[in-house]
């Protein structure tokens, strides 16, 4: 058997072993009520909320909506799971209402910046999620909203009030 054949067989064996279901990370589908969702404490107009829900919640909430069938093929699920965990660490709309005011202001600022740069949603995600694509106007609307929210939260924090 030549080297390439051997390497091929080793590759196939590894590929098959990682398909064992125990290696698939648990799905990001909390069964708890989202009591600290951003909407519990902050004003999110319906159109903005729909954009966040369609374009951001899969990675930035405790409820990933649609897992594709190929989620069950490794190493796809590790890769997706990593994006979700990293995304939630930065920004979790399901826990946003529990963030301290300083963090909230910072997160609104980051959202504004991300929308201005059109850096979110991730490009790899947009390749397979048409419904998450945002138009120029929608990027702008979210940026304008986030900027306003940041100013509101900062003004209230300066006045010593809770948001």
The footprint of ligand HEC (CB under 6 A) covers 55-56, 58-60, 83, 86-87, 90-91, 110-111, 114, 120-122, 125
Q: Any idea what the Cα angle at residue 42 is, between residues 39 and 45, rounded to 5°?
A: 70
60 vs 153, beta carbon nearer ligand HEC: 60
Q: At its nearest, how many Å lie between ligand HEC and the CB of residue 100? A: 17
Instruction: Give the residue among 60, 47, 43, 46 at the shortest CA–CA distance from 110.
Output: 60
Minimum Å distance from CB 41 to ligand HEC? 17
Closest approach of Cβ 117 to ligand HEC, in Å? 10
Pick between residue 8 and residue 68 the one whose CB is nearest to ligand HEC: 68
> From the CA atom positions of the chain, what is the Rg in Å?
20
CB-nearer residue toward ligand HEC: 6 or 118: 118
Supply the minimum distance, in Å, between the C-beta of residue 6 and ligand HEC. 37
**Burial category of 96 from C-beta neighbours within 10 Å (exposed 0-12, middle 13-18, buried 19 and up):** buried
Shortest Å, Cβ 120 to ligand HEC: 3
Cβ-based nearer residue to ligand HEC, 36 or 60:
60
Burial class (CB in 10 A: 0-12, 13-18, 19+), 18: middle
Closer CB to ligand HEC, residue 8 or residue 90?
A: 90
Could you tell me the two tokens for 65?
């909506």
Q: How many CB atoms lie within 10 A of CB 139?
A: 18
């Amino acid at each position: 058997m030549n080297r390439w054949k051997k390497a091929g067989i080793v590759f196939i064996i590894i590929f098959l072993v990682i398909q064992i279901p125990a290696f698939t990370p648990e799905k990001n589908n909390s069964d708890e009520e989202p009591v600290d969702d951003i909407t519990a404490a902050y004003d999110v107009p319906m159109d903005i909320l729909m954009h966040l829900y369609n374009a951001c919640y899969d990675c930035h909430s405790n409820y990933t909506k649609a897992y594709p069938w190929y989620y069950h093929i490794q190493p796809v699920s590790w890769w997706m799971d990593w994006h979700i965990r990293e995304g939630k660490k930065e920004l979790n709309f399901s826990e946003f209402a529990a963030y301290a005011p300083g963090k909230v202001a910072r997160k609104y600022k980051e959202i504004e910046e991300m929308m201005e740069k059109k850096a979110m949603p991730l490009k790899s995600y947009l390749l397979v999620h048409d419904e998450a694509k945002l138009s120029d106007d929608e990027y702008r609307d979210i940026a304008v909203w986030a900027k306003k929210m940041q100013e509101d939260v900062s003004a209230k924090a300066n006045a010593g009030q809770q948001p």
